[in-house]
């Protein structure tokens, strides 16, 4: 199989095609391979066989039954499948494993920096100032702003609400007020803005809030991953940005950069409101005791 261009994309495809040839030892090996993607991508055939409790040569035999010249070629296939986000490895642990595999040659820190840099350069190429201005104009005219992001997006939700509040806007981080969300959203209606943050598959709370906003006449902004399942109902304004390719760091750098650009642009179009609020906040903090500053 090595060197061929028509190799199947997933290990599941390989197993299905060769199911009649597989032995009990092969099945035990496959369970071990799929159960721990980090080791599957990093260990050699003897180590995999030892963990599966089979003969040391069993991993080599499995690789050949699946069409590979030897176990190293099979391991290269597993690594490629992992790094490309193949269907065999869709869990969080597998995504972490993909990053570890990619870091083997270039170094861990270097691989993270390279991934972040590539994602930011892609953002530069796919997002323009008009997209940012669309968000900032909506925020400028808002009566109240509610921000919601869950999971990894929760930290960004808190940061956005904090920065908008310091800029003189009534902004609430709903991620920190989930038990009191009904109270926080009291009177939701026209003039209010919901800013949704959704990475990967949207959380049900995010979808429900978007639907409520549409029902009540509030405006919905959404910042999501590129290629993520669409939000329904569709937001009034959407920025979908890639946080990195499969196997690269999927950090908050890209959405945080977008949020920072929106808040900076907002300060440039709100007639001095943000700048005055920041100055007032600075002066007020100076009057407080040290522990409060």
Give pLDDT tens digits for 141-159. Answer: 999 999 999 988 999 999 9
Phi/psi at 37 (5° precision): -65, -25
Distance between CA atoms of residues 271 and 279, nearest Å: 14
Enter the pTM of the model. 0.70
3-state secondary structure the chain: CCCCCCCCCCHHHHHHHCHHHCCHHHHHHHHHHHHCHHHHHHCCHHHHHHHHCCCCCHHHHHHHHCCCCCHHHHHHHHHHHHHCCCCCCCCHHHHHHHHHHHHHHHCHHHHHHHHHHHHHHHHHHHCCHHHHHHHHHHHHCCCEEEEEECCCHHHHHHHHHHHHHHCCCCEEEHHHHHHHHHHHCCCCCCCEEEEEEECCCCCHHHHHHHHHHHHHCCEEEEEEECCCCCCCCCCCEEEEECCCCCCCCCCCHHHHHHHHHHHHHHHHHCCCHHHHHHHHHHHHHHCCCHHHC
Write out pLDDT tens, residues 164-199.
999 999 999 999 998 899 999 999 999 999 999 998
Query: Over 80: is that where the pLDDT of 7 sits?
Result: no
Which is higher by pLDDT, 236 or 292?
236
Q: Which domains does the chain have, with CATH numbers?
A: 11-106 (1.10.10.10), 124-292 (3.40.50.10490)
Low-confidence winner among 202-216, 221-235, 241-255 (lowest mean pLDDT): 241-255
Whole-number pLDDT of residue 278: 94
Confidence band, pLDDT 50/70/90 cuts, at residue 245: low
Q: Are 65 and 7 in contact (CB under 8 A)?
A: no
| pLDDT > 70 fraction of the chain, expressed in percent and rounded | 84
Distance between CA atoms of residues 285 and 264, nearest Å: 22
| pLDDT > 90 fraction of the chain, expressed in percent and rounded | 51
Whole-number pLDDT of residue 99: 62
- What is the arithmetic mean of pLDDT over 123-130? 93
Whole-number pLDDT of residue 89: 46
Confidence band, pLDDT 50/70/90 cuts, at residue 88: very low
Phi/psi at 66 (5° precision): -85, 0
Confidence band, pLDDT 50/70/90 cuts, at residue 114: confident
Record the tokens describing residue 151, joined without a space: 């999971």
Whole-number pLDDT of residue 249: 59
């Amino acid at each position: 199989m090595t060197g061929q261009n028509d190799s199947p994309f997933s290990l599941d495809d390989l197993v299905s095609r060769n199911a009649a040839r597989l032995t009990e030892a092969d099945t035990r090996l496959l369970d071990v391979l799929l159960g721990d993607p980090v080791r599957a991508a990093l260990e050699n055939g003897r180590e995999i066989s030892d963990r599966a409790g089979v003969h040391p040569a069993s991993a080599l035999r499995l690789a050949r039954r699946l069409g590979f010249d030897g176990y190293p070629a099979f391991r290269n296939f597993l690594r490629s499948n992992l790094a490309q986000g193949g269907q065999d490895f869709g869990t969080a642990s597998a995504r972490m494993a993909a990053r570890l595999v990619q870091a083997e040659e270039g170094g861990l820190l270097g691989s993270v920096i390279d991934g972040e840099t590539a994602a930011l350069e892609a953002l530069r190429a796919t997002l323009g100032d008009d997209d940012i201005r669309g968000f900032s104009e909506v925020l400028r005219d808002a009566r109240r702003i509610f921000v919601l992001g869950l999971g990894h997006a929760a930290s960004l939700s808190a940061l956005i609400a904090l920065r908008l509040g310091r800029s003189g806007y009534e902004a609430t981080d709903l991620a920190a007020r989930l038990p009191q969300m009904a109270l926080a959203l009291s009177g939701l209606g026209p003039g209010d803005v919901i800013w949704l943050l959704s990475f990967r598959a949207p959380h049900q709370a995010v979808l429900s809030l978007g639907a409520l906003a549409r029902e009540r006449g509030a405006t919905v902004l959404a910042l999501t991953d590129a290629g993520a399942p669409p939000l329904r109902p569709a937001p009034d304004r959407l920025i979908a940005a890639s946080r990195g390719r499969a196997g690269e760091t999927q950090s908050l750098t890209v959405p945080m950069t977008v949020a920072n650009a929106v808040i900076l642009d907002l300060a440039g179009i709100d007639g001095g409101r943000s700048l005055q609020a920041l100055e007032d906040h600075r002066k007020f903090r100076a009057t407080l005791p040290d522990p409060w500053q």
